[in-house]
Amino acid sequence: MDNLHRNLETIGLSEEEIAVYLAALEHGSTTVLKLARNTKIPRTTVYLLIDSLTQKGLLTLSVKGKKKQYIPSNPREILILGKSKQQRLAQSLTELEQEIPQLDALYRTQHELPKIHYYQGVDEVKKIYEATLEEDKIYVHCMSQNAIEIMGDYLKKYFNRVIRRMIHTQEIVSDSASDKVYQQEHSTSRNQIICIPSKLGTNTDYMIYNNNVAFITYRAGQPVGVVISDKEIAHFEKIRFLMIWEQFATSQTSS
Beta bridge partners of 226: 118, 215
The neighbour count for residue 31, using CB atoms within 10 Å, is 14
Rounded to whole angstroms, how far apart are CA atoms 224 and 123? 10
- Given a cut of 90, whether residue 28 has pLDDT beyond it is no
Look at domain 115-249 and name its CATH class: alpha beta
All structural domains of the chain with their residue ranges: 2-77, 115-249
Compute CA 191 distance to the chain's CA centroid, rounded to the nearest angstrom: 33
Q: Which residues pair with 120 in a beta bridge?
A: 224
Q: How much is the pLDDT for 254?
A: 45
- 2-77, what's its fold? Arc Repressor Mutant, subunit A (1.10.10)
What pLDDT was estimated at residue 110?
A: 63
**Mode of pairing for the β-strands spanning 137-142 and 168-174:** parallel
Contact 208, 243 (CB under 8 A): no
Q: How far apart are CA 135 and CA 155, in angstroms?
A: 17
pLDDT tens sequence across 218-244: 877 789 999 999 999 999 999 999 999
Is the overall model pTM greater than 0.75, yes or no?
no
CA distances from 128 to 102, 117, 121, 151, 186 (A): 36, 10, 11, 13, 22
